[in-house]
Chain A
């Protein structure tokens, strides 16, 4: 498989689907943006694809909480197909609203029982913010960060990006299992240690993204798809185009499937 097929799922209010499409394309995938309604008519498309991206945006206007209704779509219409997609080890990426969707659908963190124990909630500063951040990766099973040169710079643009869990133990579990795939760091690569705005939303342990135990599903709040070109100025510790490497890692992985 030369160009792994990728689905960028589009719901009402999804808005960085085109950005993700261009990033996947530049990373060597064969992407297609597909509306939830269209995928319902052609569910086998999932089985024929190697990458699923749930992009950023305000699906269903964030009504009743970011990602809630997009997660409901997944649970109502594609539960089996998506479970199988994940179980087969195919690459799944949820960015921003897509991350919120994966968490609210229970696909992330992907362990610890049926009851939802993790969520993304209001930023500690209590408002939506758009700014550039710097990311570093932990040692993790995540396929989307493998062989990626960090730090990576890219923007965040969210109001509900603070990762929260129902108990401290769960946080420790995440860390011990190496599932904190991405963290906010300063320009020199030092941990943000909660310092605002290096950590833009007050996430504990500077969590910017987490993966499932198998490593094939990554959810992150920042937007690497908005830093994929060499010819634009970027800010923070990473280089121009450094966001593309995350997509390239996913595509490399999918190609080998």
Chain B
């Protein structure tokens, strides 16, 4: 037996306990009902294994592990655990700090360490003579301190186990699929959690029948991944029969949603400035004479539901790799998060409160974006009770590259390289996992599907790729995402074929079966095709930057994908079968029956009290989660790194107002142009009517871009559909209606789709069997070009006495509005949400001309909360008041509450200086616009409601309402008082 070297334990104690993060833990513990706990003390734990001299342990503790000014360290060999909880990662979960310990210990001259790990210890002190029993400590560990998906805990002292140095398993299982009947196939599918349809299983069997052999587990898993919803988008490519539609709603058969609606719009618009749409990992458009820009938005919902930090973390990492995979330098990140409503706590997943999900996801995004050094410039946070068990995490990334820099045409003989991080068991079967409906079991069993990121490793890879691109050292590139190497190598070799050797892949720890290596979704890996002539130069570049590289084999040209392990063939499939052999899915869509809205119901009966209670309602609207400031999250993201953020998430001198879109001008740009990044999303509309909601999402994304100064003729969009189970005909109906609206809106605005993604089965089956599906959730994200960066606009009022214009076809709608949600109990506000504005494309172009001529000082789109909320936000950003004539806005059909709080497409408020009113009128001639107010020096927002009614809100009151959510969340996560300077 091999002698195991000892594991040493070093604990780090704060000299001055009582940090705010510990206060947050204390609060969470008390929320569990354990009010006897008075204080909590956290300690960092470090574990190092090997022959290490006492003075070396001392050096590690003093120099590396502790900060002598604020902390003390203690080598705890022989330590007996007192009443406390200790947490460590499960074996195999990425622990980036552990790698740094090994590296830096060598740098310090300590050679004997062969393994390292980190952990944390929490000691609790209680009131008087009270204490915590083992069950209570366990409760705290599970609910506050750790997540069993990636961590384990112990009461008292935790023992660290390092993965064994056993012989790597070369066990390849043979599956006699060629002899299986349908029942056996079904059993195989559920055993291996492959989420394949019966028809697909039959096609796989038939393939191996023709081959006259069983398949290997590597082959089976590879096909399951490649044919998963996540990788193959089978719903979007399915042939769908529709039922129950009225004339013009939907055709009877839709063969391929993507082609019929999304790509169709792009083809119809045929914009010459679209460089790549739907072909590559990210969409690409022309930027200026020197550069192209790329854009991709993805979701990472299922992983974020069970491990919020890791899920969101790797979601950001994944979409950044998509941009790296079109040879671009990532320059900005945007993210849209959807959480359960505050009121829906009772249906939340066991052990996962709203706070935990929300904090974990925001922290995960913060960690990856900030450490990658990519500014998170824009985003949104939305709440709906149906997101409680299925939070949604949309992550987007923008990249820039010199014109013509992207190419991916590997040739025969080019080497198949993997670069970046090592491969572990992380994320095994992630693609099929993403394609499944979750239930209570998923939480316990999906451990290996979730990963923690190592952003610095990805950053180093990104730097190497940019340098290699400049030297043209590679002929092809793609990222390792869902499906791992099987997808990345499989797709890159889909025409040429390739022959690769899995034992060349560096592993985080031994013991992985060949199929696990091939399918691992370990993060931070890219696959490149390297011509033999550049192999040495590429390796030298990787080495100089400490980036790992592994040469797995070559592209062959015979159209076959061959995978070996230690020379033995473990996979031998025709690329044709793997990539084109999947039988098309056949699905049915059926129009959901809904109670026809009572014709009389939408009529709103406004309060008869004087002034209609506008002031009180506006305060409630500003505090509504759909409107309220998200400053608590936004400031945790670095939105300034890279120095190109012209307009970040906040607007106005107060930096309190919201921005409609981000404006970014990377430092290398010389043309004076800038990039706008914006989103359109609304789950309330999604529930009301899928068509109107999708149309509105696209209109909003474009509207936001136009508001900051983007040229409506240079805006491209991406779609992200998050839906429930597509095999339910009613779900599919709303999906089709959304897709149709995408096409209609895209063509109307002439904003082509350049990329898209879908995520299905966002459903949760509760213990009682009830299914909760997310509302139809379509995110449209837009990337646009601002012709002159210095002409871009914010949303904050700038100069007192300037004129406030309502621009656009104003059709305020109370159904599905924030107002409707707030007062649903009092008024029956049914309907289909805001209708499309057919005038919008013309209005946007005219407004853009006015902005380009310098006629507009500030501009803000009207969205959640309606005209009143938009005006209030402009006031708050600028620290200036306004007077608005509601009579003028409402026209003849005067309904003050509907006018103020109804939501509409196609409209803006624009601030026009008095001197330029005439020129502005000319610029918008023939289009709907009306001057309805004035900017005031006085810090009040006044509405003239007609018949002499005036209601006024002071800005301080509005500001308090607007920041109420932020104040509450920050109040929960930190204590008051400054800790002071002496440690």
Contact = CB atoms under 8 A, between A and B. Distances in A.
A120 to B, nearest CB: 9
A194 B55 CA distance: 41
A186 to B, nearest CB: 13
A64 B98 CA distance: 10
Pick from A37, A126, A128 the residue with the most CB of B within 10 Å.
A126
A130 B640 contact: yes
Interface stretch (A43-51, A141-149, A201-209): A201-209
B600 interface: no
B636 interface: yes
A215 B839 CA distance: 63
Interface stretch (B266-274, B570-578, B974-982): B974-982
Given A13-B371, A73-B107, A128-B370, A19 B643 contact: yes
CB-based closest 5 A-B pairs: A15-B373, A204-B981, A126-B20, A63-B100, A119-B69
Interface of B: 19-21, 23-24, 63-65, 67-70, 96-97, 100-101, 104, 107-108, 366, 370-373, 454-456, 459-460, 544-546, 635-643, 645-647, 653, 655, 665, 667, 789-790, 794, 970, 973-974, 978-983
Interface string A118-152: 11011011111111100000000000000000000
Nearest to A225: B643
A251 to B, nearest CB: 18
Given A38-B544, A119-B70, A157-B638, A58 B982 contact: no
B642 A18 contact: yes
A92 to B, nearest CB: 21
Contacts of B790: 231-232
A119 B794 contact: no
10 contacts: A19-B641, A61-B97, A61-B456, A124-B979, A130-B638, A164-B983, A226-B640, A232-B789, A233-B794, A235-B653
Nearest to A207: B981
Contacts of B19: 122, 126
A22 interface: yes
Main SS at interface, chain A? mixed
Given A18-B642, A63-B101, A235-B655, A165 B455 contact: no
A11 B637 CA distance: 22
A102 B544 CA distance: 24
A214 interface: no
Given A64-B100, A127-B973, A233-B647, A37 B982 contact: no
B641 A166 contact: no
A135 B878 CA distance: 22
Given A15-B641, A124-B979, 20 more contacts: A22-B643, A37-B546, A58-B370, A58-B373, A61-B456, A64-B97, A76-B107, A104-B67, A117-B69, A118-B69, A121-B69, A127-B20, A130-B635, A157-B640, A162-B979, A166-B983, A171-B982, A203-B981, A228-B643, A235-B653
B867 to A, nearest CB: 25
Contacts of A37: 544-546
Contact of A168 (B794, B974, B982): B982
B646 A167 contact: no
Interface in A89-106: 104
Pick from A38, A63, A231 the residue with the most CB of B within 10 Å.
A63
Contacts of A31: none
B637 A131 contact: no
B104 A72 contact: yes
Contacts of A115: 68
Interface in A26-84: 35, 37-38, 56-58, 60-65, 68-69, 72-73, 76
B108 A157 contact: no
A116 interface: yes
A13 B979 contact: no
A183 interface: no
Interface in A1-25: 12-16, 18-19, 22-23
B650 to A, nearest CB: 8
A64 B64 contact: yes
A83 B974 CA distance: 41
A14 B371 CA distance: 9
A247 interface: no
Contacts of A22: 643, 667
A151 to B, nearest CB: 14
Interface string A216-241: 00000001011010011101000000
Pick from A13, A14, A115, A119 the residue with the most CB of B within 10 Å.
A13
Given A63-B97, A171-B982, A231-B789, A18 B64 contact: no
A202 B980 contact: yes
B788 to A, nearest CB: 9
Nearest to B654: A235
B370 A61 contact: no
A69 B100 contact: yes
Given A76-B108, A126-B24, A235-B655, A204 B982 contact: yes
Contact of B974 (A119, A126, A167, A205): A126
A165 B981 contact: yes
Contacts of B647: 233
B973 A64 contact: no
A184 interface: no
Contacts of B63: 72
A12 B546 CA distance: 8
Contacts of B973: 126-127
A205 to B, nearest CB: 7
B974 A125 contact: yes
A13 B370 contact: no
B216 to A, nearest CB: 38
B978 A129 contact: no
A155 interface: yes
A61 B640 contact: no
Contacts of A72: 63-64, 104, 107-108
A60 B371 CA distance: 10
A102 to B, nearest CB: 14
A72 B978 CA distance: 31
A111 interface: no
A130 B639 contact: yes
Contacts of B65: 64
A127 B982 contact: no
Contact of A60 (B24, B372, B456, B983): B456
Nearest to B791: A231
Nearest to B635: A129
Contacts of A235: 653, 655
A68 B64 contact: yes
Nearest to B65: A64
B554 to A, nearest CB: 29
Contacts of B980: 202, 204
A253 interface: no
A124 B546 contact: no
Contacts of A171: 981-982
A76 B69 CA distance: 21
A76 B59 CA distance: 14
A68 B104 CA distance: 10
A214 to B, nearest CB: 23
Contacts of A121: 67, 69-70, 983
Contacts of A233: 646-647, 794
B67 A119 contact: yes
A63 B638 contact: no
Contacts of A13: 371, 456, 459
A191 B212 CA distance: 82
A157 B370 contact: yes
A227 to B, nearest CB: 8
A14 B545 CA distance: 12
Given A12-B456, A64-B101, A204-B981, A164 B69 contact: yes
Contacts of B639: 130
B982 A15 contact: no
A163 interface: yes
A57 B655 CA distance: 24
Contacts of B108: 72, 76
A166 B982 contact: yes
